Amino acid sequence: MSMTKQTIDQINLRNKRIIIRVDFNVPLDDELQITDDSRIRAALPTINQAVDEGGRVILCSHLGRPKGARRSEFSLAPVAKRLQRLLGKDVPFASDCVGPEVEMLVESMQVGDVLLLENLRFHPGEEQNDEAFAAKLASLGDVYINEAFGTAHRSHASTVGITKFMKVAAAGYLMKREVEYLESTVDNPTRPFVAILGGGKVSGKIGVIENLGKHVDKVIIGGGMAFTFIKGMGLEIGRSLVEEDMLDFAKGVQEHALSRGVKFYLPVDCVVAASLEPGAETKTVPVQEIPVGWYGMDIGPASVKLFDEAVQNVKTILWNGPMGVFERDAFSRGTFSMAHSVANAYALTIVGGGETALAVHRAGESDNMSFISTGGGASLQFLEGKKMPGLDALPDCVS
């Protein structure tokens, strides 16, 4: 499946002011230092292309959820510094994303210059897809490139509204890659195809389970959502995470998969903790023996071995959601082992963004995956087969 939208390669960038909507929503620590810059790096080919073609590049992004208010901890200033280093050139930083100061900075730009605007979400108009705000943003440039797959599932001013006011719009390289990888995985995977689904809740993945269920040969379920399936089988799960209203759905999914000949894997053992306090007593038990009052926190070693064997003979792996509370050392083994198994499988490996990408990064396996999606919620929505407003707003290719 190829991308049907117009892409950056198909338009003339020479002497144009090019607004690129990037996804620089990077994780920051308490000192406001960037802990993972892979989203910035992912946009570099598109930025460099615009620079090399003789454009003036205006970058805009959101960071976090400032909810329409100016909050210093959500400033993109740390990103400007990192970007300078990665591009090896000066990147001026505007203290806003619209208004007179920004207009002056844009006016004074030379060919090949790169300017980064302050957080779009400091303005309520961004998330409201406000027409006046979108028009102001659009007035800064001649060409619009959407490179932010991570926000393509949102109807915001910088992803949807702006396209009404731009004569020329297209997708960047990263947007193109994301769409092509995810589309080909779902529509035409090389088989056998396994989906590994983890994370906390079944409800968050209903659409993905239902849509992928039609395409996969194997399903592996881990993380907190596994306990809803385990309880659905009538087993004691202690105080583990469970969605009572999803028990029938979970049971149905499993039965439906088995009736279609899809192999369905659930954990056979798990690491449990006596309480949620750090340092609480932990032990590994078969899933049939979870003690009353204990919490399931990770898959156990037998599950790791089972899942590892299940992915060894497949050709396509899609992984979305960790196997346990990997942020805590005591419960990181299941997720990190899964990362090693996926990396070592002789297969096309696609990792859905967000927490899973972070886990793969911490396991030291990022470079060994075929593709890591930069969009958590966006990749989920795409895999559910739902509409992507940010993508739909772009013009189709003229063949």
Q: Which residues are the active-site residues?
A: 39, 201, 354, 377
Cα gap 239→243, rounded to integer Å: 12
Between CA 331 and CA 151 the distance in angstroms is: 30
Q: Are 27 and 34 in contact (CB under 8 A)?
A: yes
In terms of Cβ atoms closer than 10 Å to its own Cβ (0-12, 13-18, 19+), residue 221 is buried
CA-closest candidate to residue 210, choices 153, 249, 242:
249
Residues 396, 35: Cα–Cα separation, whole Å: 36
Distance, in Å, from the CA atom of 95 to the CA atom of 102, rounded to the nearest integer, reads 8
Residues 80, 33: Cα–Cα separation, whole Å: 12
According to DSSP, the β-strands at 143-146 and 168-171 are: parallel
CA distances from 281 to 242, 267, 269, 323, 328 (A): 21, 21, 17, 20, 14
Determine how β-strand 348-351 pairs with β-strand 282-286.
Answer: unpaired
Half-sphere exposure at residue 70, Cβ-oriented, CA atoms within 13 angstroms: 4
Question: Look-up: residue for tokens 């050709």?
Answer: 315
Burial 47-70 (b: 16+ CB within 10 A, else e): bebbbebebbbbbbbbbeebeeee
Contact yes or no for 162/133 (Cβ under 8 A): no
